[in-house]
Structure 1
Amino acid sequence: MVFIELLALAAVALGAVLVPATGKDLLEGGVVIGLGVLAAEMANEVERRRRRFSDTPHVNFSSVWTLAGALVLPPALAAVVAVVLYAHLWVRCWRGVPGLYVSRTAFNVSNVIVSTQAAAWAVRELDIVSGALDRGVLGAAGVLAIIALYYVVNSAIAAITIALAGADRTARRLLGRLNENILELATLCLGAATALLLAWHPWLALLMLLPLYALHRSALIRQFEHAATTDSKTSLLNAASWRAIAQAELDRARQHGTTAAILMIDIDHFRKVNNTYGHLAGDDALRALGETLRAMVRSNDLCGRFGGEEFVVVLPGCASADDVLAVANRIRERIASTPVTAQSTGATFSVTVSIGAAYFPATGMSLDELLLAADNALYGAKDAGRNQARVVEAT
């Protein structure tokens, strides 16, 4: 973190010496800062709520203005834009949010400065902005290259730092969710459009404020939706959401005459994990099992945490006991072979699961009937010695 902060300071100092700002540059910098502050004030309450929900790399939409600054301003002045906007966000939105500290914000703004410096120097060397206005497809390709450069530098610094600072090095933790990355790329595209508007007709940059505010609100709604439907420990569907979606899937199967299967999965001797490694290690086991389930099933399968150490999966299209059993055994074997690391102690252990399965319509017509049948099969797997998969045969 200190290295990135020093690198940012060195880059700004070098830029100030090699590319001094003119009066016109200062005026344009003031416009970018003014627009950025105005946009942040419009979305002040929304950003505060979004920040409280974020547990992965957070997209705060300031990239619209920092990238615009990198495209139209000298490198050092682009860094000033980032510092002012992040200072404003700290004072107005982030101060007082648990887990957010001045040191962390200072690192984040240093990361943004390094990213803007890389983008600003590339813009200056390749004459990107005027090229985009004058050279058609080649100019557009240049703008896309700058967006990619900014994104890669910023994401790489964040990911490397998170990896060095903690034991959780999953892709989701290092890079954030796919939705967050798409959101960041969307803000960078808006930033490029803002820069082109500033270079062509500065007053038109005001048109970015309302779409940006709407984007803020839609991102908050998505976070609310995610919090309401997702189990916090495993990032799978929670029980209520899984049941509602599973019921809709069965209704669809009934309407179209197709099939579906239910898996009920229970961790073997979960209490022993908690007693041996601690309850935090139990949470790590739940999280690891959730990640394994997501990796093993298809995109249209529905995984949920049913409660405690029980998980459920809907498998649309599984038509026979053999098909269901094959899927269940693949999942069971992958879980047994996947090591779990206790974040609190660093200890490594493994868990096994027992799985009960039932399938529609042969072993049940309603969701409750299928769950009961799968639960009975699960108890049969446990009675057989655990680390087993059993499926209810059609009668």
Structure 2
Amino acid sequence: MNSWPIWSLPVRVRALVVTVVLAATAVLVADSVSARVTFHDMRSCLVLVGLGIVAAEMGRQVERRRRRFADTPHVNFSSVWTLAAALILPGVLAFAVVVVLYLHLWLRSWRGISGIHMHRTLFSACNVILSCHIAAWCARGLLVVPIGPDRGVFSLLGAASVVAVYFTVNSVVVGTVIRLSSGKCSRRRLIGRADENLLELATLCMGVVAAALLTLAPWLAAFLFFPLYALHRSALVRQFEQAATRDPKTGVLNVASWRALAESELRRAQKVGGNLSLLLINVDQFALVNVVHGEVVGDRVLKAAGAAISSVVRNKDLCGRLGGDEFVVMLPGCSGEQVLSIAHRIRESVATIDARSTSEQSIQITVSIGAAASPAAGTDLDDLLRAADNALFAAKDGGRNRVVIG
């Protein structure tokens, strides 16, 4: 039992997992006591389970590929059927739908994939159960259920509120686990990527549609399969694009993608006569970290540094890794004091990293930064990189953990 993967989690994470599982169990017991299940409810439950399994089988190979690429909270598209169950079924049957669909996903799609453990699937299922329960409570309070005559804009606002509640509860629980597992982490890491969040919202909206169709015109629910499958495949394409353009160790742009985007951004700035700056960032004494603590810890330091840099720069800035311990950031529309301010925020953000060796010894990480601006330092990307590199050398020569503008 002590060899189970769950025991490798920090104590506070295990405590949260157990709390969520116990809360879902308490919800099941409470729903079982008060449930009034009819034959129609049982039939609807079986239909939802069947639809969910058919949809999962249609996208099984896509799901396995997506799961192998997923490095963020994962959207598995079962939300379409779990939210629909929450809206049209008694709580105990909605619970059954979640359990059966997640058990099927584990047995058919997730089992055997490296890093995917049973306790994660159990935690996800219990999180969904709690999200369903709270969303159903909200739906009853807003008169969204039972689904019946259209109340116009009130029906729209009520359904939107139910989607928002489900999404918020689910995201808060997942974000809490990430926060407890990773310690200090960026807001972007906590809330996930925008495309993943939009994907989850899309599946929840389809869940509302599925509930309405199953209540008013059940056979029309079959038309959800193909748009759902297309959405599933489009998500896989985005993950392939992510894998092709991102550095696997740090999550920032790889050198080829960064250079292609930087060249395009530089041409755009020159065309409109705008400002553009570049920061070259080097982790101080990184070779010593590798020698003393090993490459595994070194990779951990690089990942933390990449996350710290990404958390400071703007969405339109281009953050990449040139190789080794060297990062680069292109800042469109920035010059002078603005560049200096961003560079110092990056330096301070990296300095707060709580890196640990394999023996849990604290490792202090700092960076030196060289900056260059176009057109003052050159109009060619290589000229800018050369100017920033000279400034970086001056920053290191001046004692490290500082910013120099070339």
Normalization by structure 1: what TM-score?
Answer: 0.90
In 1, the alpha carbon distance for the partners of 2:45 and 2:342 equals: 59
Alignment match, 1:385: 399
Pairing partner for 2:378 from 351, 364, 374: 364
> How far does residue 42 in structure 1 lie from its aligned partner after superposition?
1.3
Pairing partner for 1:138 from 124, 133, 154: 154
In 1, the alpha carbon distance for the partners of 2:317 and 2:181 equals: 34
In 1, the alpha carbon distance for the partners of 2:148 and 2:384 equals: 59
Pick closer, same or farther for the CA change 1:29–1:165 going to 2, 3 Å: same
Alignment match, 1:115: 131
In the alignment, does 2:206 pair up with 1:208?
no
Q: Give 1:22-171 correspondences, 5 Å limit.
A: 22-124=38-140, 126-130=142-146, 133-165=149-181, 167=183, 170-171=186-187
8 Å Cα contact 2:367-2:402 kept in structure 1: yes
In the alignment, does 2:182 pair up with 1:179?
no
1:212-234 deviation digits (Å, cap 9, x = unpaired)? 11110111111111111112232
* Larger deviation, residues 1-10 vs 258-267: 1-10
1:300-349 deviation digits (Å, cap 9, x = unpaired)? 22111111111111122335xx4476246524642464243327444434
* Larger deviation, residues 296-305 vs 308-317: 296-305
* Larger deviation, residues 205-214 vs 276-285: 276-285
Pairing partner for 2:333 from 313, 317, 320: 317
> How far does residue 374 in structure 1 lie from its aligned partner after superposition?
2.0
8 Å Cα contact 1:56-1:172 kept in structure 2: no
Alignment match, 2:369: 355
Pairing partner for 1:302 from 318, 336, 344: 318
* Larger deviation, residues 215-224 vs 382-391: 382-391
Pairing partner for 1:9 from 2, 25, 32: 25
In 1, the alpha carbon distance for the partners of 2:43 and 2:160 equals: 26
Pick closer, same or farther for the CA change 1:344–1:141 going to 2, 3 Å: farther
* Larger deviation, residues 149-158 vs 194-203: 149-158
8 Å Cα contact 2:367-2:400 kept in structure 1: yes
8 Å Cα contact 1:357-1:378 kept in structure 2: yes
8 Å Cα contact 2:312-2:346 kept in structure 1: no
In 2, the alpha carbon distance for the partners of 1:17 and 1:324 equals: 62
Alignment match, 2:356: 342
In 1, the alpha carbon distance for the partners of 2:346 and 2:181 equals: 32
3-state SS of 1:364 partner: coil
Aligned length: 390
Q: 5+ unaligned residues in a row in structure 2: which ranges?
A: 1-16
8 Å Cα contact 1:262-1:315 kept in structure 2: yes
8 Å Cα contact 1:285-1:340 kept in structure 2: no
8 Å Cα contact 1:64-1:194 kept in structure 2: yes
In the alignment, does 2:269 pair up with 1:253?
yes
Pick closer, same or farther for the CA change 1:297–1:3 going to 2, 3 Å: closer
In 1, the alpha carbon distance for the partners of 2:178 and 2:284 equals: 32
Q: 5+ unaligned residues in a row in structure 1: which ranges?
A: none
3-state SS of 2:48 partner: helix
8 Å Cα contact 1:263-1:312 kept in structure 2: yes
In 1, the alpha carbon distance for the partners of 2:350 and 2:140 equals: 55
Q: Which amino acid aligns with 2:74?
A: H
8 Å Cα contact 2:347-2:368 kept in structure 1: no
8 Å Cα contact 2:88-2:146 kept in structure 1: no
In 1, the alpha carbon distance for the partners of 2:219 and 2:350 equals: 61
> How far does residue 116 in structure 1 lie from its aligned partner after superposition?
1.8
Pairing partner for 2:387 from 351, 373, 389: 373
Pick closer, same or farther for the CA change 1:341–1:132 going to 2, 3 Å: farther
> How far does residue 83 in structure 1 lie from its aligned partner after superposition?
1.3
8 Å Cα contact 1:4-1:111 kept in structure 2: yes
In the alignment, does 2:297 pair up with 1:281?
yes
Alignment match, 2:258: 242
> How far does residue 242 in structure 1 lie from its aligned partner after superposition?
0.4
In 2, the alpha carbon distance for the partners of 1:370 and 1:185 equals: 42
Pick closer, same or farther for the CA change 1:264–1:34 going to 2, 3 Å: same
Pairing partner for 2:215 from 186, 199, 210: 199
In 2, the alpha carbon distance for the partners of 1:72 and 1:131 equals: 8
8 Å Cα contact 1:356-1:391 kept in structure 2: yes
3-state SS of 1:231 partner: coil
3-state SS of 1:11 partner: helix
3-state SS of 1:213 partner: helix
In the alignment, does 2:242 pair up with 1:231?
no
* Larger deviation, residues 302-311 vs 330-339: 330-339
8 Å Cα contact 1:325-1:390 kept in structure 2: no
Query: Identity percentage over the alignment?
Result: 49
In 2, the alpha carbon distance for the partners of 1:177 and 1:345 equals: 32
8 Å Cα contact 1:132-1:138 kept in structure 2: no
